[in-house]
Structure 1
Amino acid sequence: MQEQNVGTSPAPSRAVQFVRSFGGPEMLSLREVPVPQAGPGQIRVRVTAAGLNPMDWFMTSDAGTAARFGLGLPCGFGTDYAGVVDQVGAGVTGFAAGDRVFGGALSRAIADHVIIDVAGTTAAGGAAHRTPDGVDDRTAATLTIAGCTAAAALAVVQPGPGDTVLVGGAGGGVGVFAVQLARLAGARVIGTGSAASAEALLALGAEPVTYGEGLADRVRALAPGGVTAALDLHGTDTVQAARDLGVPDKRITTIAARIDGITPANGADAAPGALEEIARLVATGRIRVPVAATFPVEQIGAAVELQAGRHVHGKVVIDL
């Protein structure tokens, strides 16, 4: 296939990067960079929106952590993106210029343009999926990391009708998907959060319970028939409560901690097609993605500070 282009790309392009050192949001810069070009087997995406995730700031918090993820300076930021294909490299047959796409590009998504290997993965080369009709770009930019992680977590505990699932951190980015997917599987869901998050959790289909000391007792009062599975999407407190409630370790999972006897979940392990199915459920209105806040790319520091505070009910999205 011959190279395809849509319009004329601006020169230069913009990208959010760490330049001098890794660290907090104060170290991020919006820089002018050369417009990247798609090579063989690659597409270039004009990014319109990028979603933030805790992993974005965690893996770039210091040089040692960044190195574990194969990152070095200068380094981009953000992984979830959505936009439009504006250049197609030689040999690419699955995408055409003008296609709406979303996906992941590890620590380089918040940029005007991102290069994606069509045979790659989020962690290596990037990944692209067609954005279904009925899903806007801001919503599409929230799906990849959180959706895949939620799907992988649920695959560990396999909820279904008759189950009561305790979801720790239910109002966070992954929780938004996990709660609704568990409900679609027929399970009852009890979600932990702050008192202020109760209304948001109810809107997702979860029965809210406040986190903190005494969690197991509060859950027991809410579900005297017992809890049968648990997802800890924040730390380890929900795991301890689930064990106190008699949930077997094989039906407990974590995404942010490693605990002996508990199978952790990683979005990279999501089943093939899981992300496309989530996008389809969003397009048909069966999953709702609350976008808590949007920021122009020029306000990237404020956006990261808000997301890193871990008190946002829903997703934070950057507009480009």
Structure 2
Amino acid sequence: MIEPVALTALALDAALGWPAPLYRRAGHPVRLFARLIDHCEASWNRPDASFRARRTLGVVTLLLVLLVAGGGAVALETLLTRMCGSFAWIGIALLAWPALAQRSLFDHVRAVATALDGVDLPAARTAVGAIVGRDTVTLDESGVARAAIESLAESFCDGVAAPLFWLLLLGLPGVWAYKAINTADSLIGHREARWRAFGWAAARADDLANLVPARLAGILLCLAGGGWRIMFRDAGKHASPNAGWPEAAIAGALGLRLAGPIAYDGVMHAKPWIGDGRTNASAHDIRRALRLYVLACLLLWPIAGGLAWAR
């Protein structure tokens, strides 16, 4: 029997996203992971502990959140299979749905373009601040637009391509294990002194989990809009071994320069530019990027459908 779990989850996410009423009532599954990680960090990442001890406890934290995410998914998948038999795939698709972020990412980035279209720079800074970690209060229109486009490219991997990849490869446990790793990396996988030891395992696991999906995301963006030369030339300029692939792809496709000097917590970081086009990005460029993003997402659908048919 064909079991289009991934295709159904993609369709639900594209049509509904994660509805606000549902979020208000039940939150989102990643919030459970975040609470567990925050609790472990507060309890174990003590500044008076040795580097080795903090790194070991960071490994334990990652294993705990993987046990909750992956183990919980295995238990639910097993229960559905026993209770529903050949119709279990419907429940599994519903449980996989919130792991994808096609619609929510589109909506968040579009909000930045809408604010810029309305010549409301403070609102645009607030909107982009919801999806990036850099300082936004001093960004001009071009800086806001570039930040939105960079986040769109990177999150295409983290929020769409990578979850789908692990869903197709390892089923429900795979997609939720990935989301647990990605959440841990976003919370503790940083290079600052406070996180360097404790977040080491989360950062390395996230690098490994995104190794293939990031390159797939870059390829899909290039298939949607070109940019091959810039992707292969500049992907390695990013500090991350993975994020540079989709970011360089979209920079090449749009004819923009992205990244460059960026401020975090008031400190300017002299990051290299990616791409060799314009730096004066605008709301129009965000909308161009969103069109490429939609096309790249649509390219994932026949992959999911083809694998479902092959099975």
TM-score, structure 1 length as denominator?
0.27
TM-score by length of 2: 0.27
- Of Structure 1 and Structure 2, the greater helix share is in 2
| Higher normalized strand content (fraction of residues) | 1
